[in-house]
Amino acid sequence: MFRILVLAASLTCMSFAAKAHEFWISPDKHQVSPSDQVAAALIVGQDFEGNSQAYLPRSFTRFDYSIGGKIAPVEGRLGDRPALKMDAPGEGLMVITHETAGLLLTWDEFARFEAFVEHKDALWTLEAHKARGLSEENVREVYTRYAKSLIGIGSAAGSDFEAGLETEIVALENPYTDNMSDGIDVRLLYQGAPRRDEQVEVYERTAGGDVSVFTVRTDGDGVATVPVKAGARYMLDAVVLREPSAALANQRNVAWESLWANLTFGVPAN
């Protein structure tokens, strides 16, 4: 019975993921003491609202954390919610990293695909779709999520780093220890190289629960400055759309591949 329930939960999450936009790591608290537990959910949804996913090893290819230069896998039991719950592993900046397995999505209305690529600032795909002679009926896509989250434990000293993901957002400042009055600088990467003049979508949730969404763009070094508010939580999101390799296209019968980079963090209230 437990296996059946887990499978049902997994399928529900996958179905919801096909309809929703973002996937992110959502800590219960972005700042904890060294004697506290660290808890973080894997969420699929929109505008800081969504469904928590269970700890299911078959649904991810990487799930680890780093603190003080040491990287370790996130250990969990099948079906755990939240997916991460552990004693604080030390003092400093904890970086959680998660990479999903590739999931399939079918756009049954081409207008929805058009709206998606416009929202993600990738209108070039529409001309490319036509130039490749692809059908506008039931456009299939495989997508992979690359999420990171920053948690300050105790002094929260430390820094984010390039985790080696296919695409990722790297915080160039520590939101818990550095001066955030002029915003936080982040670098957007794809295959280890800066993504220049690209859109980064920013979701801001204030201490009062109000959610707003805005965008910033990266400069010639792939760096964007995100204005932040004291006491707020932030989720940054950026998407790479690309033609799949011939092998992937044939294996999974897809026309497009999308890679989603996501980063969450909080800003201290004072």
- Tell me the torsion sign for CA atoms 18, 23, 50, 125: negative
Query: How much is the pLDDT for 19?
Result: 40
**CB contact set of 6 (below 8 Å; sequence gap of 6+):** 54, 56, 78, 79
Distances in Å between the alpha carbon of 164 and those of 147, 167, 189, 190, 262? 12, 8, 9, 10, 14
Query: How much is the pLDDT for 238?
Result: 97
Does residue 254 fall inside a structural domain?
yes
Q: CA 212 to CA 99: how far, in whole Å?
A: 26
What is the Cα 173 distance to its own chain's centre?
A: 18
Task: Give how many domains the chain has, as a whole number.
Answer: 1
Does residue 32 fall inside a structural domain?
no
How many CB atoms lie under 10 A from the CB of residue 19?
A: 10
Query: How much is the pLDDT for 44?
Result: 95
Does residue 21 fall inside a structural domain?
no
Query: How much is the pLDDT for 100?
Result: 97
Q: CA 138 to CA 129: how far, in whole Å?
A: 13
Q: CA 148 to CA 261: how far, in whole Å?
A: 8
Q: CA 27 to CA 264: how far, in whole Å?
A: 9
Helices and strands per DSSP (H, E), number in the chain: 4, 18
How many CB atoms lie under 10 A from the CB of residue 268?
A: 15
Does residue 20 fall inside a structural domain?
no
- Residue 249's domain comprises 63-72+91-266
> pLDDT truncated to tens, each residue of the chain (270 aa)?
333 333 333 433 433 333 447 999 999 999 999 999 999 999 999 989 999 999 999 999 999 999 999 999 999 999 999 999 999 999 999 999 999 999 999 999 999 999 999 999 999 999 999 999 999 999 999 999 999 999 999 999 999 999 999 999 999 999 999 999 999 999 999 999 999 999 999 999 999 999 999 999 999 999 999 999 999 999 999 999 999 999 999 999 999 999 999 999 999 997
Does residue 45 fall inside a structural domain?
no
Grouping H, G, I as helix, E, B as strand and the rest as coil, residue 242 is strand
Q: CA 172 to CA 192: how far, in whole Å?
A: 15
Query: How much is the pLDDT for 201?
Result: 96
Q: CA 249 to CA 255: how far, in whole Å?
A: 6
Does residue 180 fall inside a structural domain?
yes
Q: CA 121 to CA 263: how far, in whole Å?
A: 19
Does residue 196 fall inside a structural domain?
yes
Pairing mode, strands 103-107 and 139-153: antiparallel
